[in-house]
A = this chain, B = another copy of it.
Amino acid sequence: MTGNQVIVIGAGLAGLSAARHLVAGGADVTVLEARDRVGGRTEGGVTADGTPVELGGQWVGPTQNRMYELIAELGLETFPTWNQGQTLIQLGGKTSRMASNRGAVPKLNPFALADLAQGMARFNRASAKVPLTEPWRAAKARDLDGQTFETWIRRNLRTTTGRAYFRVACEAIFSAEPTDLSALHALFYAHSGSDLDTLIGVDRGAQQDRIVGGSIRISEAIAAALGERVRLSTPVRRIDQDDTSVQVTTRHGEVIEGSQVIVTLPPTLAGRLEYGPALPSWRDQLTQRLPAGSVIKLYAIYPEPFWRADGLNGQAASDEGPIKVTFDNSPPSGTPGVLMGFMEANDGREWARRSLADRRQAAIDCFVRYFGPGAANPTEYLERDWMGEEFSRGCYGAHFTPGVWTAFGPALRESVGRIHWAGAECSPVWNGYMEGAVRSGETTAADVCTRLG
């Protein structure tokens, strides 16, 4: 009997949310996870003194309603990202401090300021017009999809500083260079997460809150309730389907039969499985064109968050790498002091080739540049190179390269027989975020429920 047996591939937030929804609906569910842990692109780390730190996705913010509900349902709690003090902005070699409330703007010369304000307004106006479920139907979709975001920036911003600001924002949001992605995708993505200000903001933005104990608690709590339905260290290799069932083969050679399967892997990994019959060309060619971003997330640990005494909130944004964006990721207690930084896009790609020792030193040098000599001697250094992770192959998420939304968009969520697609990249709302992953998992599960015998 495979009538109500659903196989979910991937125990990240999308897969676990889908499984939870299916179980609630009475389905018989098996979740197959390649890693020896759940959480996917969220992962729990821990400092030497036992403080939890997130090695992957970590923040929630306003309008991510499903995440806040889920956190509450699971008995978890949030706390605000540390945001007291001033943010450092380094553009063109000049450092300025900026109040950290939303809507604050860096102290730039009047020309740059006007340029940036106009560029942001233009971006948000165009972004708001992109239909979230069908971005390819936006006005001028072909035109916007036919250019890189870099081309858009050059056309719509006139000052070096204004352009630099947009480029840093792009790297921070996509872990990709503005040269890498379609302008239409950048506009879609911002609309999907409300607007550009929300994506880059802390208070009332996408970085507003953290989860007590770490974001991995969400996946762990769902997995605990699913119990033995979740099978770790079980990478999937192949999916076959016929008129009566779907058969999933693991790398260990085990075959698991079901009625439907939900694939929640990032697009580039979903495209690597073997399928019998082979997937239709539009689906295959789509996943050839959705590369994962490039990021190394890293931590320096200090006895105290010393920067706070200097009136700094631990946040920096700079056009000089390899770390261009930092955050104070200390626990609610404030001890130890935890500085977090990202090596993103070309910085991440370049530094992934270097030794751990070199990378550690480069990171510390950046922290010293931002926060002074107090950053020179961390008690501990932690990092996660998401590009090197065999079962992610990049973070935060996939981006649409130019031409892809308009040529292949409809294939993104289109089921192939008994195979259904979910994941952060599939969500019209909060695409690429934990919120998008959960929404996509639940939406797809609801659809699959209607197909069960």
Contact = CB atoms under 8 A, between A and B. Distances in A.
B294 A291 contact: no
Interface string A376-393: 000000000101101001
A408 to B, nearest CB: 7
Interface string A292-326: 10100000000000000000000000000000000
A353 to B, nearest CB: 6
A368 interface: no
A402 B349 contact: no
Contact of A147 (B147, B288, B387): B147
Interface in A169-198: 176-180
A83 B401 CA distance: 38
Contact of A291 (B285, B345, B387, B394): B285
Interface stretch (A49-57, A107-115, A276-284): A276-284
Nearest to A345: B407
Number of copies: 2
Interface stretch (A59-67, A89-97, A267-275, A357-365): A267-275
Contacts of A406: 179
Question: How many A residues are at the interface, by size bracket?
Answer: 35 or more
Most chain B CB within 10 A, of A146, A280, A387, is at A146
A385 B179 CA distance: 31
A281 B408 contact: no
Most buried by B among A150, A237, A280, A285: A285
Contacts of A394: 281, 285, 288
A407 B349 contact: yes
A220 interface: no
A209 interface: no
A177 B289 CA distance: 13
Interface string A126-170: 000000000000000010011110110000000000000000000
A356 to B, nearest CB: 14
A403 interface: yes
Given A146-B179, A291-B285, A402-B179, A251 B274 contact: yes
Interface of A: 142, 145-148, 150-151, 176-180, 237, 251, 268, 271-272, 274, 278, 280-282, 284-285, 288-289, 291-292, 294, 345-346, 349, 352-353, 385, 387-388, 390, 393-394, 401-404, 406-408
14 contacts: A146-B151, A147-B179, A148-B148, A176-B403, A180-B401, A180-B407, A278-B388, A281-B352, A281-B393, A285-B394, A289-B401, A349-B407, A349-B408, A401-B401
Closest 8 CB pairs of A and B: A281-B387, A146-B179, A179-B403, A288-B291, A180-B403, A278-B390, A272-B272, A401-B401
Given A147-B179, A284-B393, A285-B294, 12 more contacts: A146-B150, A146-B151, A146-B177, A148-B148, A180-B407, A251-B274, A272-B272, A281-B393, A282-B349, A288-B291, A288-B292, A349-B408
